[in-house]
C-alpha cells in the first residue's frame, strides 16, 4: 500500500519542540496546499493535537520520501530541518495504516483509551476534504480508522471510566494540595472541551469556587449559567482574579501566552501557595513562573508521570484491542487491493450488461403471447439473477482471495471477455 505517515509525538519529542510544530485548524489548508505542490503527494491529511503532529500521505510512488513532509513542516514554522529531523518518525504501508488505527482508538495516546483523539481524527480528515487535499484513498483510510476505533471502544473495556488530560490535571492538583480542594478557588482560562472537563472534575472534587473566562465572554457565561459555585469573568480581568485563586488552569488555542511572568508579578498581592496547570500546545503559560516563590507549574509533559502512576486494568485490554486493530488493517488491505482490479470489474460488468441485453431480447422475442407486463417481469427477473450471481462472485473473491489470487482471477476473466469480443467481431 502506498500510504505513509511522517510525524512527531509525545513519546520522544518534548513539549517545547511539539509546540513549535503545532498547527491550528486555520493553518491546515496552508500546510496541505504546500504539500500538494509536490508531484509525489497525491493525497494528504494533517493531524495536529497537543501530543502529536502527523501527516498522512497517499502517493502513486512506492518509495515516497518522508523528508518532503519534514522539510515542509519545518519551513512553514521557520525551523532548521537538520535540528528537528531527529524527532520525526516515518511508517509506510500496513505499519502506517495500523498506526492511524491505534491513534484513533486511543491506544497510542498519553492517556490510554482517551476519547478526545477520535474526534480530532475525524476533524483532520474533514479539514483535508475541505482543502481538497484528500481523496478516495485517505478518505477511505480515515473512515475505516474511525470504524476500528468504535469497535475497540465497544468490544473492549479500554475506554471504560476513561481518563482525560483534564481529569489527570485535577488529580495532580488534588495530590498537590494534599487531597482536599474544598477550600480552594480556581480560575479556568479557555472554555473548550478540555476546559469544560476540568471544570466538571473540579466540581466533583467539591472545590469551593471556580471562575471561568474566555476571549469570547459569552461562552464563559453559558458554561457558568446555573452553577452556584461557578462565575464567568472578563478575560481582561484574569490577572486580578488570579490574585484570589489557588489554582489556574489554562487551555486555549491562543498563539500567545495567556499568562506572562511580568504581568503576574505585578498583579499578585496575596501570598498563598498556587498551582498553575498549562494544558495547551503551544503553551499558554510562561514557563518561567515556576521560579516564582510559592508557585507550582505543570504542563502536558508533567502529566506523563501521573499517567505512569495510574496504569490500571485497561492495560489488560490492550491485547484484545490489538486483535481488533489487526483485523481492521487486514480488511482495509482487502479494500485497497480490490481497488486495483476495479477497472477489470467494471469491464466485466459492462460486458455482462451487453450480453444480458442480447439474451433478454432473444428471450422476449419468443414470448409472443405474453403481455407487456409479463415481459417486463421476465426482464427484471433475469437482470436481478445475473446481477446477484455476479455480485456474489465479486464479493467472495474480494473477501477470500489474496491480492495475487484476485489479480489472476480477474485477469483470466478479462482475457475471456477480450477473446469473446474478438469472436463477435
* 8 A C-beta contact, residue 367 and residue 375: yes
Per-residue pLDDT at 118: 94
- Asked, colleague to colleague, whether 3-162 and 165-306 share their fold, the answer is no
Q: What are the pLDDT tens digits along the chain (425 aa)?
A: 999 999 999 999 999 999 999 999 999 999 999 999 999 999 999 999 999 999 999 999 988 999 999 999 999 999 999 999 999 999 999 999 999 999 999 999 988 888 889 999 999 999 999 999 999 999 999 999 999 999 999 988 777 655 678 888 888 899 899 988 999 999 999 988 888 889 998 998 999 999 999 887 677 788 888 888 899 999 999 999 999 999 999 999 888 899 999 999 999 988 899 999 999 989 999 999 999 999 999 998 888 776 666 555 566 678 889 999 999 999 998 888 877 766 666 766 776 776 777 777 777 777 667 777 877 787 777 777 777 777 776 666 666 666 666 666 666 666 666 666 555 55
**What pLDDT score does 376 carry?**
78
Regarding the domain delimited by 3-162, which CATH topology (the fold level of the hierarchy) does it fall under?
A: Beta Polymerase; domain 2 (3.30.460)
Map out the domains of the chain as residue ranges: 3-162, 165-306, 344-374+396-417
Q: What is the pLDDT of residue 224?
A: 81
C-alpha cell at 130: 475541505
**What one-character-per-residue DSSP string does 38-81 give?**
STT-SEEEEEE-SSEEEEEEE-SSTT--THHHHHHHHHHTT--H
CA angle in degrees (0–180, nearest 5) for 145-46-39 = 110
By residue count, the chain amounts to 425
Q: What is the pLDDT of residue 421?
A: 57
Would you state the pLDDT for residue 225? 82
Fold of 165-306: Rossmann fold (3.40.50)
- Cis status, amide bond into 282, omega within 30 of 0: yes
pLDDT of residue 396: 67
Query: For residues 63 and 93, is the Cβ–Cβ distance under 8 A?
Result: no
Exposed/middle/buried for residue 10 (C-beta within 10 Å: 0-12, 13-18, 19+): buried
> Which residues are known to be catalytic?
50
Amino acid at each position: 500500500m502506498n500510504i505513509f505517515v511522517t510525524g512527531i509525538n509525545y513519546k520522544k519529542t518534548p513539549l517545547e519542540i511539539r509546540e513549535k510544530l503545532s498547527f491550528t485548524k486555520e493553518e491546515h489548508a496552508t500546510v496541505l496546499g504546500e504539500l500538494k505542490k509536490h508531484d509525489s503527494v497525491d493525497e494528504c491529511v494533517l493531524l495536529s493535537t497537543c501530543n502529536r503532529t502527523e501527516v498522512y500521505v497517499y502517493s502513486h510512488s512506492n518509495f515516497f520520501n518522508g523528508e518532503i513532509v519534514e522539510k515542509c513542516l519545518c519551513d512553514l514554522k521557520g525551523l532548521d530541518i537538520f535540528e528537528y529531523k531527529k524527532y520525526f518518525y516515518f511508517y509506510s504501508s500496513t505499519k502506517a495504516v495500523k498506526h492511524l488505527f491505534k491513534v484513533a482508538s486511543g491506544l497510542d495516546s498519553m492517556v490510554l483509551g482517551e476519547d478526545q483523539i477520535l474526534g480530532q481524527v475525524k476533524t483532520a480528515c474533514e479539514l483535508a476534504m475541505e482543502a481538497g487535499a484528500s481523496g478516495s484513498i485517505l478518505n477511505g483510510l480515515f473512515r475505516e480508522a474511525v470504524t476500528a476505533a468504535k469497535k475497540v471502544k465497544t468490544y473492549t473495556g479500554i475506554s471504560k471510566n476513561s481518563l482525560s488530560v483534564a481529569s489527570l490535571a485535577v488529580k495532580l492538583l488534588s495530590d498537590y494540595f494534599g487531597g482536599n480542594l474544598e477550600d480552594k478557588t480556581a480560575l479556568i482560562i479557555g472554555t473548550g472541551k478540555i476546559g469544560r472537563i476540568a471544570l466538571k472534575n473540579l466540581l466533583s472534587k467539591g472545590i469551593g469556587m471556580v471562575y471561568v473566562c474566555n476571549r469570547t465572554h459569552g461562552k464563559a457565561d453559558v458554561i457558568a449559567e446555573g452553577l452556584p459555585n461557578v462565575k464567568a469573568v472578563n478575560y481582561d480581568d484574569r490577572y486580578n482574579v488570579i490574585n484570589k485563586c489557588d489554582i489556574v488552569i489554562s487551555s486555549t488555542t491562543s498563539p500567545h501566552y495567556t499568562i506572562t511572568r511580568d504581568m503576574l508579578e505585578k498583579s499578585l498581592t496575596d501570598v498563598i501557595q498556587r498551582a498553575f496547570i498549562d494544558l495547551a500546545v503551544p503553551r499558554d503559560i510562561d514557563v518561567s513562573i515556576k521560579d516564582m516563590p510559592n508557585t507550582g507549574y505543570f504542563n502536558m509533559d508533567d502529566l506523563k508521570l501521573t499517567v505512569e502512576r495510574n496504569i490500571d486494568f485497561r492495560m489488560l485490554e490492550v491485547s484484545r484491542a490489538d486483535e481488533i486493530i489487526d483485523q481492521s488493517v487486514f480488511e482495509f488491505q482487502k479494500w485497497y487491493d480490490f481497488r486495483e482490479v476495479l477497472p477489470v470489474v467494471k469491464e466485466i460488468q459492462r460486458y455482462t450488461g451487453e450480453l444480458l441485453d442480447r439474451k433478454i431480447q432473444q428471450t422476449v422475442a419468443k414470448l409472443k403471447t405474453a403481455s407487456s407486463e409479463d415481459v417486463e417481469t421476465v426482464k427484471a427477473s433475469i437482470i436481478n439473477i445475473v446481477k446477484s450471481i455476479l455480485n456474489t462472485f465479486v464479493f467472495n473473491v474480494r473477501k477470500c482471495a489474496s491480492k495475487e489470487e484476485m489479480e489472476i482471477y480477474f485477469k483470466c476473466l478479462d482475457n475471456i471477455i477480450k477473446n469473446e469480443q474478438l469472436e463477435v467481431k
